[in-house]
Chain A
């Protein structure tokens, strides 16, 4: 049974800092890994999708890496801004379902 763990559970940083969110998964038989953002009481917004054959994906200030063999992914956020405050969720695709971690709650202080 696939399990996804995200560390840390919560993170508070000053504006402008670079930061890394971590995601680990137990079963390396995945099709892709996705990072989502969730604002309080809202749905999920897709940030990045990394295919199992890829090592990383970049979008603006975001960079996600994938090491499938070790079951790890990181989301790097450069020059953080208060608008980046949200919950970040990692999910892996196995079969036709996403298995999610519990998320990292990020607060960027101005």
Chain B
């Protein structure tokens, strides 16, 4: 069984640019969540997608947007990058939309550096 995979693993961008991060969910998982983890902090919820629809959003501005595809893979897009967007971006998938009975399965993340 293939786990959650994210690409790229590392990325360096300049302030003001746009970035797209990609995630392949674990086989059979129809729910994908994205989290941002700044250095030394716990992950913070960005949003969740279920069957191609956004299903909850955290306290992030609209320049953070996402997509989920019919095969349940997902993208996170960030426009007008700011220095504070530098972080580890984690994708997680689950077979349970409500997350009540199954833990989230996380990928290894994409390390984004904005200069």
Shortest distance between the CB of B103 and any CB in chain A (Å)? 4
Q: Is the CB of A44 within 8 A of B48?
A: no
Given A89-B42, A93-B100, A96-B99, A43 and B111 contact (CB-CB distance below 8 Å): no
Mostly helix, strand, loop or mixed at chain B's interface? loop
Task: State which size class the interface on B falls in.
Answer: 20 to 34
Which of A14-22, A76-84, A100-108 is the contact stretch?
A: A100-108
B104 lies within 8 A of A98 (CB): yes
Cβ contact of B56, chosen from A41, A44, A95, cutoff 8 A: A95
Task: Assess whether B44 is in contact with A46, with CB atoms less than 8 Å apart.
Answer: no
Name the residue on B nearest A105 (C-beta).
B40
A102-B41 contact given A43-B107, A46-B104, A96-B48, CB 8 Å threshold: yes
The residues of A that contact B15 with a CB separation of less than 8 Å are: none
A89: min CB distance to chain B, Å: 6
- Closest-by-CB residue of A relative to B55 is A96
Does residue A97 face the partner (Cβ distance < 8 Å to B)?
Answer: yes
* Shortest Cβ gap from A75 to chain B (Å): 14
Q: Which of A31, A45, A95, A100 contacts B43 (CB 8 A)?
A: A100
- Also in contact, A44 and B90, with CB within 8 A (given A4-B42, A97-B45): yes
Question: Contacts A32-B99, A34-B104, A89-B42 given; 13 further ones with Cβ under 8 A?
Answer: A31-B99, A36-B106, A43-B107, A44-B106, A93-B100, A96-B56, A96-B99, A97-B45, A97-B56, A98-B43, A98-B99, A98-B104, A100-B44
Q: Which A residues lie at the B interface, using CB under 8 A?
A: 4, 31-32, 34, 36, 41-46, 49, 51, 89, 91, 93, 95-103
